[in-house]
Structure 1
Amino acid sequence: MIMAAFNPLTALRSPRETLDGYIILPRLIDKVRAQARGELPAAYQRNLLHRGGTLDGRFLAFTGLEGEALRAVILSCETDEPVAQWVAQHATRHSADEKQRWAAEVEGYRPTGRVLLYLQSTVPELAAQIDCALVSLLDLIDMNEGRLAVPARGGSADVEERSA
């Protein structure tokens, strides 16, 4: 059997997609399942369900969930709905408004410092086309994975002002 190359566009949902009001969660589910099948590239595994400033870490901090507990639930469920139900039962309670405010904060985050340097080194082709410091992390992910068009240098995504 020949395994097709990992294609994040078809294998992973955008970090903007939501499940029960949580951005990032559908993508986390996809990454955990891809890792279990042996299909998740090393670049994606490095931060999988780790605490810290990564998207996974931000989700875990906001929800108060433990990464390994979430992994076990994801792998025990065939569909997303039981995962969402488990998250609703075990996560720190947040109103829909709180989830929306948190999502807006994450969506507006632009990488700086070491995070910016790391991203530029992991996506050099994209970094050569745009100023990564002027684009949100979620835009960078969606551009890198082909969901969002990459503007020409000096294009709208390169100069657009977004509130932090």
Structure 2
Amino acid sequence: MNYSAPDLAAYPPRSPRAQLGGYAILPRMLDKCRATLAGKKGEYHYACPTDQRFFQFTGIDPETLKAEIAKGLSDTEALAWITANAPNQHMGWEIALWTASVNQAVPSDNEWRAFFNELVTAAKIAHRADIQTWFEYIEADDYVSFGGRP
């Protein structure tokens, strides 16, 4: 796997649970950003609603981060840039609470639950009663999309 220009048509980005600097979502988002820049994003979208949770929490502008990643920043360098430039600065414990929160996020109302159920059904994993959170859905969908058995 080429981490500097991942081919997301060939394999999925990292799990949304993977962390960098305590932030969930960030490693996956960086994979999607790099793949987008390389023209290899497959079906994935940088700055999608899941990514927006990170952007809202940190106050980072998606296009500004994308421009920084285009300079060839490693994960460590990207984290350093985010730490130095995030308008919303947070203590480690706040980041940990936010990460725990997004790890357990479920559809927030009946409309979102109906949408979630449609996604789960479309991914052919509706028989999986254990899929309750957004991250559980994302991970299962990635697995099935790349050849895993539902």
> Does residue 1:26 correspond to 2:27, yes or no?
yes
Shift of 1:28: 0.7
CA contact 2:8–2:42 (8 Å) conserved in 1:
no
Which position in structure 2 is the counterpart of 1:138? 135
Q: Which moved more, 1:76-85 or 1:59-68?
A: 76-85
The structure richer in helix per residue is: 1
Shift of 1:98: 0.2
Structure with higher RCO (Cα < 8 A, 6+ apart): 2
| Aligned match for 2:126, one of 125, 128, 138 | 128
CA contact 1:15–1:23 (8 Å) conserved in 2:
yes
Alignment of 1:88-107 (within 5 A): 88-91=83-86, 92-107=88-103
Which position in structure 1 is the counterpart of 2:39? 38
Shift of 1:19: 1.0
CA contact 1:120–1:127 (8 Å) conserved in 2:
no
Shift of 1:23: 1.0
Shift of 1:21: 1.4
CA–CA distance in 2 between the matches of 1:37 and 1:117? 35
The amino acid of 1:6's aligned partner reads A
The amino acid of 1:40's aligned partner reads K
CA–CA distance in 1 between the matches of 2:70 and 2:37? 8
Give unpaired runs (5+ residues) of structure 1.
153-164
CA–CA distance in 1 between the matches of 2:60 and 2:8? 33
CA contact 1:60–1:67 (8 Å) conserved in 2:
yes
CA contact 2:125–2:140 (8 Å) conserved in 1:
no
The amino acid of 2:10's aligned partner reads F
Which position in structure 2 is the counterpart of 1:67? 62
Say how many residue pairs are matched.
Answer: 137
| Aligned match for 1:86, one of 81, 84, 104 | 81
| Aligned match for 1:6, one of 3, 10, 13 | 10
**TM-score when normalising by structure 1:** 0.72
Task: Please give the secondary structure, in 2, of the residue aligned with 1:143.
Answer: helix
Task: Please give the secondary structure, in 2, of the residue aligned with 1:40.
Answer: coil
Distance 1:130 1:25, change over 3 A: same
CA contact 1:21–1:96 (8 Å) conserved in 2:
yes
CA–CA distance in 2 between the matches of 1:142 and 1:34? 18
The amino acid of 1:95's aligned partner reads M
CA–CA distance in 2 between the matches of 1:24 and 1:140? 14
**TM-score when normalising by structure 2:** 0.78
Distance 1:5 1:31, change over 3 A: closer
CA contact 1:20–1:84 (8 Å) conserved in 2:
yes
